């Protein structure tokens, strides 16, 4: 069984976050700078929520709110669904599909270890399948 930890092991250890009182504009600037489509909302080490491009499109643009004048806490998704490093990649795919979400914070004992995206999951699965195919080809040809 392939696990979330195996995906985390392929990524740099980086957690991009803002606080609840950060403006949406500050969050968007960080997202652009880091080339990510989601940020965690942390108060100290405590996960408060997640803010994604989808949140921006649905909660700022559609309601005509100001990015500079709106704090993240008004538009973030509070209490996001999280996974453990020991959870299977299959479980992550199921959650992402069923809940229509693209990002899952990875937690262990109330500590954020990282975040995985649907892109991370797909990339990992493709690499794993390529490795399996290569091993089978080597087995067959030997």
Number of domains in the chain: 1
Q: Among 60-64, 92-96, 109-113, whose mean pLDDT is lowest?
A: 60-64
Average pLDDT (20-38) is 96
> For the whole prediction, is pTM greater than 0.75?
yes
Residues in the chain: 142
Q: Give the confidence band of 51 by pLDDT, cuts at 50, 70, 90.
A: very high
Say if residues 104 and 116 touch (Cβ distance below 8 Å).
yes
Q: How many whole angstroms separate alpha carbon 138 and alpha carbon 142?
A: 6
pLDDT at 114: 96
10 Å CB burial of residue 78 (0-12, 13-18, 19+) is: exposed
CATH label of the domain that carries residue 45? 3.10.580.10
Average pLDDT (61-82) is 92
Q: Which domain holds residue 31?
A: 4-141
Q: Give the confidence band of 136 by pLDDT, cuts at 50, 70, 90.
A: confident
């Amino acid at each position: 069984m392939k696990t979330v930890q195996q995906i985390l092991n392929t990524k740099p250890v980086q957690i991009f976050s803002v606080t609840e009182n950060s403006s949406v504009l500050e969050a968007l600037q960080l997202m652009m700078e880091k080339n990510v489509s989601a940020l965690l909302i942390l108060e100290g080490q405590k996960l408060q929520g997640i803010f994604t491009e989808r949140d921006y499109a649905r909660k700022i643009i559609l309601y005509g709110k100001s990015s500079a004048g709106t704090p993240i806490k008004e538009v973030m998704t509070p209490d996001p669904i999280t996974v453990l490093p020991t959870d299977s990649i299959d479980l992550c795919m199921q959650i992402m599909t069923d809940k229509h979400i693209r990002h899952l914070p990875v937690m262990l004992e109330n500590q954020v270890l990282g975040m995985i995206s649907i892109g991370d999951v797909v990339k990992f699965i493709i690499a794993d399948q390529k490795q399996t195919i290569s091993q089978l080809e080597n087995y067959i040809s030997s």
